[in-house]
Structure 1
Amino acid sequence: MSNIAKNSDLPLRAVSGVIMAAIALLGIWIGGAVFTLAVSLIGVGIYWEFAALVRKGGNGNFPAIPAYLLGAIYIGLAVITLIFFRHKDDSGLETLFLLLVVVATDIGAYFAGRALGGPKLAPRISPNKTWAGLIGGMVAATIVWTGFNIASNGQALHIALVGGAMMAFVAQMGDLLQSAMKRRAGVKDSGTVLPGHGGLFDRTDGMVAVFFVVGLTHITLILQYFGIAGFLGL
């Protein structure tokens, strides 16, 4: 494919990317019920695309029902965790920087991968991803997360450094998981709802993975916040 062909949708991608970023910032700033409703609806859209990939990739042999259930837990916990962090954070800054860590991972991975190349990370799943890209994404995410924690007097420096790198690693694994699902389903994108960007799941695969893992590490606090812990004896 020529460079012209590969870049023909670049203006569309740029415009839609700016619009998506503006909507995300507005939602975080507003917070409350508006944020909860918007994130919930996006979560439903992501799960719809996830289920479509499972269905297309089944070929009659894939255990669809367990996959649907696991997907509901995976995406559902990520959505609940994002809502939890925004509701408990009056300013919305922590939520914003958690999202920025994933964005920084994608940007760092893209530029490091393009500039350095080198061995492929998982050539059978995603031929374009390299180990250099993974490291570049981890460095970029660590810088963002550490900067936020220094500015907000949050986590200790060594914890912030490790936390940023780990979140970037998780984001990349989420990306690879979705790439594997698309490859099995024989599709390029999970959907077409975002002009120039594919589907909702295409743009949020890393975020879903990060907020799922963060949710697991905060599960007791989340259950207590939403009044569920008492029913479970926690």
Structure 2
Amino acid sequence: MGRRVATAAVLAPLVLAAIAAGGVAVYAALLAVAIAASFELSRALALPRGAALGAALAPLALSVPFGPEGVLGGVLLGVPWALLWLGVLPRLRNERALLGMLLVPVWVGAPLAFVALISGLEHGRAMLLLTVVGPWVSDAGAYFCGLAFGRRRIFPVLSPAKTLEGSLGGLLATTVAGGAAGYLLPGLSPSRGLVLGAAISLASQAGDLFESALKRILGLKDLGSLLPGHGGILDRIDSLLFAAPAVYYLLLLA
């Protein structure tokens, strides 16, 4: 726990500083995350680094000039790019490699591109702050409520530590935090904050379960070891990868 807290104490100010700076700082941070995440998946699935990196960066790069259409275009380009590498390296033609080549652009590249798109919206810094901090609140609420009240396990195979009480605690904490943010952040009303908070928690918990299922399929405890106490970068951003697309489209609808 000590290493986990120490790592968070170093990373959190850096993340918040990038959000506050906006613009180039956000894209630089996303570029670093995309590179680290693609390398983690390449190691976990024994994929060529070049294939994984190109597939991860394509949606992020195309989102800058083309918006959400660029994200889709990046996925459509990233998958063939990765499969081309697999064709060049026949020894990697197996189900695990194909899974990896789909995961990199769809699970890593596209969601990170939506983080960039959120930062470019009106009041983008405030919306990005909510998108990034919301999963932290959900995780903390789920952890402490699960610790105090957790009785009923909801996914004993995928994630034995997750309980219904913890899940509801995370949902409640993030919904309340979103409503409170509506009084503090520009461009956000309390009612809108409540909806976004609830959506962030639900998406975050789905993202966490998705990664748990993936690690179980691969027989891995963590997808990496970059962050002491947390595992890899993907172990830290799994919730964000599901929350960012949900927030982006909810903001467009509101």
TM-score (norm 2): 0.73
Deviations 1:125-174 (A, max 9, x none): 01000111110010111111111123346455444323311220110010
Identity of aligned residues (%): 28
| 2:19 aligned partner | 28
| 1:223 aligned partner | none
Query: What is the distance in 2 between the residues matched to 1:212 and 1:150?
Result: 24
Q: What is the Cα-based RMSD across aligned positions, in Å?
A: 2.7
Gaps of 5+ in 1: 1-9, 221-234
2:95 is the alignment partner of 1:104: no
TM-score (norm 1): 0.79
| 1:231 aligned partner | none
Q: How far has the Cα of 1:71 moved from its partner?
A: 3.4
2:153 is the alignment partner of 1:120: yes
Query: What is the distance in 2 between the residues matched to 1:211 and 1:39?
Result: 13
Greater mean alpha carbon deviation, residues 208-217 or residues 162-171: 208-217
8 Å CA contact 1:138–1:165 kept in 2: the answer is: yes
- Kindly provide the amino acid, as one letter, of the partner of residue 11 in structure 1: G
Query: What is the distance in 1 between the residues matched to 2:113 and 2:219?
Result: 30
2:219 is the alignment partner of 1:186: yes
Q: How far has the Cα of 1:177 moved from its partner?
A: 0.5
Using a 3 Å threshold, how does the CA distance of structure 1 residues 219 and 66 change in structure 2: closer, same or farther? farther
Q: How far has the Cα of 1:89 moved from its partner?
A: 5.0
Query: What is the distance in 2 between the residues matched to 1:86 and 1:63?
Result: 34
Query: What is the distance in 2 between the residues matched to 1:33 and 1:155?
Result: 24
- Kindly provide the amino acid, as one letter, of the partner of residue 36 in structure 1: Y
Using a 3 Å threshold, how does the CA distance of structure 1 residues 218 and 147 change in structure 2: closer, same or farther? closer
Query: What is the distance in 2 between the residues matched to 1:132 and 1:80?
Result: 33
- Kindly provide the amino acid, as one letter, of the partner of residue 88 in structure 1: L
Q: How far has the Cα of 1:69 moved from its partner?
A: 2.2
Q: How far has the Cα of 1:25 moved from its partner?
A: 1.2
Greater mean alpha carbon deviation, residues 44-53 or residues 108-117: 44-53
Using a 3 Å threshold, how does the CA distance of structure 1 residues 137 and 216 change in structure 2: closer, same or farther? same
One of 175, 192, 195 as aligned partner of 1:162: 195
RCO comparison, higher one (Cα < 8 Å, 6+): 1
2:8 is the alignment partner of 1:17: yes
